[in-house]
Copies of this chain bind each other. A is one copy, B any other.
Amino acid sequence: MGKGRLEAFSDGVIAILITIMVLELRAPHEADASALRPLAPVFLGYLMSFVYLGIYWNNHHHMLHAAREVNGRVLWANLHLLFWLSLVPFTTSWMGEHPLTTAPVALYGFVLLMAGVAYFFLAQALVAHHGADSPIAKAIGSDRKGRISVTLYVVAIAASWWAPWLSLAVYVAVAAMWFVPDRRIERALEGDGTG
């Protein structure tokens, strides 16, 4: 079975998710610049979620690029990933309204955690279909970054009970780890996540 439609469908869903989040940024009724200040946490939340969805799109792009074809299990593993990503606008909106409160910050991390786990299942489904010696299995490898991310999300969720700002810092750090292709940062963060 060809992978073209799975890519096109995932592109469509991620493109829509990235764009409907901006609907949360409602234009203020006042016309002066200070009216934008209350929007700052919503805007920063949008920026972070945009970067996270961009990272998922990039990684999805790379992983599927290495795949030859897909099967039914891969289709559902992909839909499972898209389901968790589809909740990002909801958690972004809640956290944007309460940027330093336990429940919204923890839920934001929980959805990232589940998306990370879903991505791992998708990778497993692709490796199972192509074989352990296939190029895609080598491209995915041990998926160290993915495992560090999942660990850090758990840490961030736990931290949200006593210091939500620390959870936010962890979310930013995980995004930076994926964004900046620097092996030293990755290793530094690994030490952090397991410490």
Contact = CB atoms under 8 A, between A and B. Distances in A.
A58 B86 contact: no
A151 interface: no
Interface residues of A, number: 60
A16 B8 CA distance: 12
A139 interface: no
Interface string A158-188: 0000000000000000000001010000000
Contacts of A31: 94, 97-98, 101-104
A131 interface: no
B27 A93 contact: yes
A15 interface: yes
A80 to B, nearest CB: 9
Count of identical protomers in the assembly: 4
B83 A58 contact: no
Interface in A1-40: 1-2, 5-9, 11-20, 22-23, 25-29, 31-33, 35-36
A65 to B, nearest CB: 6
A82 to B, nearest CB: 7
Given A31-B101, A76-B58, A83 B9 contact: no
A87 to B, nearest CB: 7
Nearest to A80: B54
A191 interface: no
A86 B19 contact: yes
B16 A15 contact: yes
A36 B103 CA distance: 10
Interface of A: 1-2, 5-9, 11-20, 22-23, 25-29, 31-33, 35-36, 47, 50, 54, 57-58, 61-62, 65, 72, 75-76, 79, 82-83, 86-87, 89-90, 93-94, 96-98, 101-104, 106-107, 179, 181
Given A6-B61, A16-B19, A18-B82, 7 more contacts: A8-B8, A19-B20, A31-B102, A32-B103, A58-B76, A58-B79, A61-B75
